Amino acid sequence: MDRGQRGFTLIELLIVVVIFGILAAIAIPKFGAVREKAYLAAMKTDLKNLASQQEVYYNDNFSYTTSMTALTFSASEGVTLNINEGSNTGGAATATHSGTPTWQCGLYHGSASASNGSPATVVGVVGCSN
């Protein structure tokens, strides 16, 4: 080979491409798991914020509400909140995310039950299930 020519051989380039492929095969599933955790965190946060808004509403009206507009609350992008129960003794809500449609999180307060298949099992604690 002439000393004036420089560059990589086909074998060297092929090895680099294979290494990048292996790294991508490891990184892509990890990225999916991180994204799912972020969606779950968004659902949990929205439920906790909804519970705070419910408490403010309760202090003004002596009852929990089933109306999102009465709470002047809007969910994060992709999160769907459902207020399943609202009375003068308690409230319950569930959340889903469009990015993880099989997951559901729930929360209830007071004498409300974990209705509609909510994964919440402890009063005031957000519970999630797949």
Whether residue 100 is contained in a domain is answered as yes
Does residue 34 lie in a domain region? no
pLDDT of residue 124: 87
pLDDT at 4 over 70: no
**Is the predicted pLDDT of residue 92 greater than 70, yes or no?**
yes
Residue range(s) defining the domain that contains residue 87 = 42-129
Tell me how many domains the chain contains. 1
Q: What sign results for the dihedral spanned by CA atoms 41, 42, 45, 50? A: negative
How many percent of the chain have pLDDT more than 90?
A: 55
Confidence of residue 80 (pLDDT cuts 50, 70, 90): very high
Least confident of 4-8, 27-31, 63-67: 4-8
Give per-residue pLDDT as tens, 93-107. Answer: 999 999 998 999 999
Q: What is the chain's mean pLDDT, rounded? A: 88
Q: Is residue 3 part of a domain?
A: no
Q: Give the DSSP H/E element, type plus range, for residue 81.
A: strand 79-86
Q: H/E element holding 96?
A: strand 90-97
